[in-house]
Structure 1
């Protein structure tokens, strides 16, 4: 018995024409669905350019409440029309607090529980702590029409604890919507391969496929230029890449994965059987 799901990851450029960004994302999702994709993963904060390059109060105007978010409403209608699952990353306003958030939209258009990004980075060109509070939802795994899926948003992807927690909670695949590229303080630093290997390691260590969707192109805002390095990819349950997008081009990538076969391999390998939680107490402490 098999359970084959076709996954797609979107890799698009962004501009300050927000209506065009939405139209482009919807067109790409339609293309992916027309090519048989069941689950379509857009990038992190795909409604706009990556505005966190610098601390600017004007960008708080981009945030919306979950219940009134135009992006979520449009994606919900599209998911229902096409019968696809879409994890939607957005800038959330909750009273006087702001989060980097994501809702999973099921294939019938239902908006499932909200996830708020747990790990918030702060550094040159990535000033997210100015905009976002650390998430208070805990990690999320959603049951959808096509399977049980978990998510880590961008910086979350560097933490093995998140991937392991999602796998322990039943995730059959993990999605990583992302916005990552050049480092303004060091033009010689290229973390693309390190970034990929980190998620490939999470995949291999948990025997769970990974779908990573990054943006591409050059964005210049408030005097800071960032070249996003694309390279979105999809792995099998051993961390091997099944599909990969180029660095500098828009793309939609696809992979068909038998989730029943991956579950069988995960159970047979014994990684979860042989865990020793009694020895891992230091993982739950900031300092040892």
Structure 2
């Protein structure tokens, strides 16, 4: 469905050494009538892809990850991805540790198209059910900030026209 494009390279996460970079495509797949996009771990930190998914009609963005136990930044990324796309965002996180040291912190979450936390998973409650309503996503994509057009740059210099 999607191959990972952003690969970190640091102790414990040597993805540049382990893998080949994906093709950079972030396409939506139709699964049971829902438009579904995937952001793999680090890709989640780049909101332009969540925005693109929303503009293409994604109802759901799935984010599998293998991250540490610090969850707040990932939850914030989930809220922002939801807000800029108008999509539901769900994320799961690997649990355990690898032989070379990293500990994977577990803990998943679900975010509504409005950017609200719908729930979390923890070790003691590792399963969560979330109702995904494509009509809610479609309505939210008509709201701010989803409806805002991309920047227009008629001069080709990378900044928008501004009248002062």
TM range (shorter): 0.7 to 0.9
TM-aligned CA distance change 1:241 to 1:170, over 3 Å: same
Task: Extract unaligned runs of 5+ from structure 2.
Answer: 160-164
CA shift for structure 1 position 142: 0.5
Kept after mapping to 2: 8 A contact 1:230/1:249: no
CA shift for structure 1 position 137: 5.1
Determine which structure has more spread, i.e. the larger CA radius of gyration.
1
Q: Secondary structure at the match of 1:277?
A: coil
Please, what TM-score do these two structures have when normalized by structure 2?
0.85
Which of 193, 197, 212 is the aligned partner of 2:76? 197
Higher relative contact order (CA 8 A, sep 6+): 1
Q: Secondary structure at the match of 1:253?
A: coil
Structure-2 residue corresponding to 1:226 = 102
RMSD of the TM alignment (CA)?
2.2
CA shift for structure 1 position 208: 1.2
CA shift for structure 1 position 274: 2.6
What CA deviation, in whole Å up to 9, does each residue of 1:90-136 have, x standing for no partner?
xxxxxxxxxxxxx3xxxxxxxxxxx2111111111100001112111
Q: Secondary structure at the match of 2:129?
A: strand
Structure ranking higher in helix proportion: 1
TM-aligned CA distance change 1:136 to 1:252, over 3 Å: same
Given the alignment of the two structures, is residue 173 of structure 1 paired with residue 60 of structure 2, yes or no?
yes
Given the alignment of the two structures, is residue 277 of structure 1 paired with residue 156 of structure 2, yes or no?
no
Structure-1 residue corresponding to 2:22 = 135
CA shift for structure 1 position 162: 1.2
Structure-1 residue corresponding to 2:5 = 118
Given the alignment of the two structures, is residue 256 of structure 1 paired with residue 131 of structure 2, yes or no?
yes
Which of 105, 116, 124 is the aligned partner of 1:240? 116
Please, what TM-score do these two structures have when normalized by structure 1?
0.50
Kept after mapping to 1: 8 A contact 2:50/2:84: no
Residues 6-45 of structure 1 aligned to structure 2 (within 5 Å): none
> Whole-Å Cα distance in 2 between the matches of residues 214 and 282 of structure 1?
37
> Whole-Å Cα distance in 2 between the matches of residues 126 and 157 of structure 1?
16
For structure 1, which segment, 225-234 or 119-128, has the greater mean C-alpha deviation from structure 2 after superposition? 225-234
How many corresponding residue pairs? 157
Residues 61-72 of structure 1 aligned to structure 2 (within 5 Å): none
Structure-2 residue corresponding to 1:208 = 87
